[in-house]
Amino acid sequence: MVRIQTEDFDATQLLAALHARTADQAGAVVNFIGTVRDYAEGTATESLFLEHYPGMCEREIEALCATAQRRWRILECSVVHRVGELHRGEQIVFVAVASAHRGDAFRACEYIIDALKTRAPFWKRETLRTGEQFWVQQHDADAHKTAQWDATED
């Protein structure tokens, strides 16, 4: 299940839906929730505006989930990503993976969030408390982490 939306999400409801889809076959569910934080050094972040490429973005995230299902023994995964203007402390992304065993669930969840940061077509514009705005650039560390996943087979 992949959704891109402007409204906030309820992680408890999303986890319950994931459990229902696995028909109680999951022995492990791992989830990650990302929130807006201060990105800039020295000046507080007021908000983050996220744009995406509709259709292409969902297809890319679905492809990441399919890759995770091929690489690890997972039953289901869910990704919800918000777009629009989000303020510091608000939820941005939810990723959850269900598997029979925790190791597969942990690795698949980490892979999905790492790859999502570098492959899904999202653009982030940060607004500081001073009013200054700028587009957030991809970090070399994120690209390196995704490249490491690509280079390894579990």
Residue 84 φ/ψ region, left for φ over 0, alpha for ψ in the -120 to 50 degree band, beta for the rest: left
| pTM, entire model | 0.89
Instruction: State the residue for tokens 């999400």.
Output: 9
Q: Is the dihedral of CA 17, 18, 22, 26 positive or negative?
A: negative
pLDDT digits (tens, 9 = 90+) for 107-117: 999 999 999 98
The pLDDT tens digits of the residues spanning 26-61 come to 889 999 999 998 766 677 888 999 999 999 999 999
Fold category of 2-149 in CATH = Aldehyde Oxidoreductase; domain 3 (3.90.1170)
The residues spanned by each domain of the chain are 2-149
Across residues 111-130, what is the average pLDDT? 91
Secondary structure of the chain in HEC code, one letter for each residue: CEEEECCCCCHHHHHHHHHHHCCCCCCEEEEEEEECCCCCCCCCEEEEEEEECCCHHHHHHHHHHHHHHHHCCEEEEEEEEECEEEECCCEEEEEEEEECCHHHHHHHHHHHHHHHHHHCCEEEEEEECCCCEEECCCCHHHHHHHHHHHHCCC
Residue 151: pLDDT band with limits 50, 70, 90: confident
